[in-house]
Amino acid sequence: MKICILPGDGIGPEIMAEAVRVLQALDLRCELEEALLGGCAVDATGEPYPEATQRLAKAADAVLLGAVGGPQWDNLPRAQRPERGLLGIRQQLGLFANLRPAILYSELANASTLKPEVVAGLDILIVRELTGDIYFGQPRGIEMRAVDGHQERFGFNTMHYSESEIRRIVRVAFAAARKRNRKLCSVDKMNVLETTQLWRDVANETAAEYPDVELSHMLVDNAAMQLVRNPKQFDVLVTGNLFGDILSDEAAMLTGSIGMLPSASLDADNKGLYEPCHGSAPDIAGHGLANPLATILSVAMMLRYTFAQEDAALRIESAVRKVLALGYRTADIYEPGTQKLGTRAMGDAVLAAL
């Protein structure tokens, strides 16, 4: 098992340290190699996804990533921003299938801003297309153009999807639904955008391959509303890159804290990049306060999807459950009556539970 470790920026190194300790405690034979991605890579090499990192990432079976970005890099030219590193690795490795589960641990029902009865028992999976759409579409830019007889700045991006790009992600979603409650909701904006009319058409065509899964469709604005109105109506959601970015943050918040949610980004052969859904949280970086559980749970996803080590994945997930049941919380999920821990102490608690 060759794993490329990319701690990244902000809280990245702190949460990654705990995830690596958990991984090592499992006594699996794995080879870890660390590299730079994001702002730290820009500082060291001038590029957010340097050559050396590309080599390691390509050679590895899986990549484990902390988080990238921070205000000190926000004014760099776009090509040097930390986020470009993340988009670059997703694109270069062909990681088109982003799986973002939103599970509410019963112990955290009160941490959600929604009423406990709305979110109790929530278990949904967002399948987000990750290498296409307006994120990567050309042409794009900001330039001077003639508008109504005068020159002014003009910003533009391009949304596009090919039929095959849609079909392969929809298949991933159908296959995931098949292993769950066999309900798939495809999210689009076909009442306005042609690209997403094609999305709906291809989803409908693909449904014939999965007669045992019930396919429905929803417009993205309604989906955003339904996610807070009655999220438990969903099992698996599948959508494009931009809508998936937005809806997955919304779904994360249903569970109380984005600090709890792992993610997997897979290529066609289950090689994957695994990262927490949250960002680099520059405001708390370096203080040992960040919640490492999303990164630890990302290790579980890595063991499950890339290495087919279901037992090891379940061991990590039940250790996390146990820690929550024992009343241990980081600041983001703290409530009176529980015990507040820092990043390292939370890692210790998971190790003890393991």
**Which residues are catalytically annotated?**
135, 189, 221, 245, 249
State how far the Cα of 23 lies from the Cα of 28, in Å rounded to an integer.
8
Tokens of 257: 């804290």
Please, are residues 121 and 104 in contact by the beta-carbon 8 Å criterion? yes
134 binds, among ligand IPM, Mg ion, none (CB under 5 to 8 A by kind): none
**Minimum gap (Å) between residue 274 Cβ and Mg ion:** 15
The neighbour count for residue 352, using CB atoms within 10 Å, is: 12
Among 245, 250, 267, 348, binds Mg ion (CB under 5 A): 245
| 86 touching ligand IPM, by CB under 6 A | yes
- In this structure, the number of other CB atoms found within 10 A of the CB of residue 167 comes to 16
Binding residue (CB under 6 A) for ligand IPM from 34, 83, 201, 250: 83
- Those residues with Cβ within 8 angstroms of residue 79's Cβ, 6 or more apart along the chain or in another chain: none
Binding site partner of 170, from ligand IPM, Mg ion, none, Cβ cut-off 5-8 A by kind: none
By CB under 6 A, name the one of 33, 123, 245, 348 that touches ligand IPM: 245
Give CA–CA dist 15/10, Å, rounded. 10
**Distance between CA atoms of 130 and 245, rounded to whole angstroms?**
9
With the CA atoms of 145, 146, 151 and 152 taken in that order, what torsion angle do they form, in degrees rounded to the nearest 10?
-50
Backbone angles phi, psi at 93, to 5 degrees: -85, 0
Stretch that binds ligand IPM, among 80-88, 118-126, 185-193, 266-274 (CB under 6 A): 80-88
Q: Does 266 bind ligand IPM (CB under 6 A)?
A: no
* Coil, helix or strand at residue 277: coil
Single-letter residue type at 33: E
**With contact defined as beta carbons under 8 Å apart, do 289 and 259 qualify?**
no
Select the span of 83-91, 109-117, 143-151, 212-220 touching ligand IPM (CB under 6 A): 83-91
Minimal distance, residue 155 CB to ligand IPM, in Å: 17
**Contact window for Mg ion (CB under 5 A) among 37-45, 181-189, 239-247, 344-352:** 239-247
Count residues binding ligand IPM (CB under 6 A): 4
Which amino acid, one-letter code, is at 192? V
Place of tokens 């050559």: 51
Residue 294 contacts ligand IPM per CB under 6 A: no
CB of 265 to Mg ion, least distance (A): 12
List the single partner that 83 binds among ligand IPM, Mg ion, none, CB under 5 to 8 Å by kind. Answer: ligand IPM
Q: Minimum CB separation from ligand IPM for residue 6, in Å?
A: 13
Residues in touch with ligand IPM (CB under 6 A): 83, 86-87, 245
Which residues here bind Mg ion, judged by CB under 5 A?
Answer: 245
